[in-house]
Amino acid sequence: MNRSRVIRLILTILSLALGVAAILYYKSIISYLLVGFLVSYLLSPIINYAERSHISRALAIIIVYVIILILLAIFFTYIIPQIIQQLADFSETIKSVLENPEKLSMRSLGIPALDQLIDMLEKTFPALKVDEEVLKFFDSGRLTDIMNQLPLVFKGVANILAFLVVVPVIVFFMLKDERIFLRSVINNVSNRYFEFTLHLLERIEESFGKFFRAILLETVIVAVMSIIGLLILGIPNALILGIIVGLANPIKYFGPFIGAVPTMLVILLGPTPDVYVFYSAIMYVIVQQVDGNILFPVLVGKSMDMHPMWVLLTVIAGGYAFGISGMLLGVPVVFLVKTIFEVAQKSLKEFEII
């Protein structure tokens, strides 16, 4: 009795040590594994669908890869040069403004009504210098920081190359042997937890998988709608501006505003007449209405069961902790953790484990 306990303790310590050693050994590629996991998670419904049509998983993955390669080729030959051009234009515009902040003055817009409003505000509240506040906001070096970070994306070409080689290989095997991986895990679960584990995995996949894919689809549709709207209005850099709007969109409450800022800057600072600020604002309001009243309820809708107040607080807290990426990822991560806890608690009770 005592001896078996000692042996068990030793085995536990050994396996913990082994686990730590494994993490240390594989730590440099953990990010690859995570990305690989994420990508295969996103692609898995496609492969499963193909498998139902009696296309083997390996063949389906290769077909998907070929399609992705063709898309990438199109992307690199036609779109990337354009984006780089637009990015350069954009950062040039911003830089020129930062060197010459007068341009940002709200009076420079030359809208008489706005001038009057500013005059009136400044007369009523002498302590408030509306115009200067705006200038100060842009002057505080935040924008320069953001602009300086942009090249970081293109840095580390070697890393990116390694990424581009390793991740598809990981994704290939994860997708191909998805069922085998999952089965080998479940096979090792003891009888007491066997049904519980299956149940838990199904429930998490049900609530989070649906939510995640819905958000992704919503992002793409909003980006496409915005790009079309911008193209109709004839605003330069439509592609990158639309993509920014789409990417910012999943940030609840703040996203639409954050996403629209670059568009407004491009219009105000570029050759486009300033009045297009209003047109594009109207266009974004329409896009948001379509998103809020049709896309979100239909796609995401019930799959996100989180009180609006928590969503708001999560977004704000995420912003404080990790900046824009925190605002973007805060809600999904908190939702995932919440889902796992809720589902686990319910299942644990149902299976009388607690």
Partner 1 sequence: MAITQKKEKYDLSNEKEFIRFMGEISIFSKLTKSERMNLKKYIYLRTFKPGEVVFKKGYPNVVFYIVQEGLLKVYLEKDGREIVLSKLHSFDFFGEMGLFLEEYRTASIAAIEESKLIAISKRDLADFIAKFPRAGTKILYKFGELLSRNILKTNNRISEG
Return the amino acid letter for 96: S
Nearest to 25 by CA among 35, 17, 34: 17
288 or 347: CB nearest partner 1: 347
Min CB(214)–partner 1 separation in Å: 20
Min CB(52)–partner 1 separation in Å: 5
| Binding footprint of partner 1 on the chain (CB under 8 A) | 48, 51-52, 54, 179, 183, 186-187, 191, 194-195, 198-199, 202, 347, 350-352
52 or 307: CB nearest partner 1: 52
Residues in the chain: 354
48 or 91: CB nearest partner 1: 48
Min CB(343)–partner 1 separation in Å: 12
Separation in Å, CA 21 to CA 16, 24, 166, 267, 283? 9, 5, 22, 54, 55
Min CB(200)–partner 1 separation in Å: 10
Contact 262, 90 (CB under 8 A): yes
104 or 175: CB nearest partner 1: 175
CA-CA-CA-CA torsion for 114, 119, 125, 131, nearest 10 degrees?
Answer: 60
- Compute the C-alpha angle 291/292/294, nearest 5°: 65
99 or 352: CB nearest partner 1: 352
Min CB(18)–partner 1 separation in Å: 26
Contact 186, 194 (CB under 8 A): yes
DSSP assignment of 150-184 equals HHHHH--HHHHHHHHHHHHHHHHHHHHTHHHHHHH
Measured distance CA(206)–CA(42) in Å, rounded: 14
Min CB(263)–partner 1 separation in Å: 44
3 or 54: CB nearest partner 1: 54
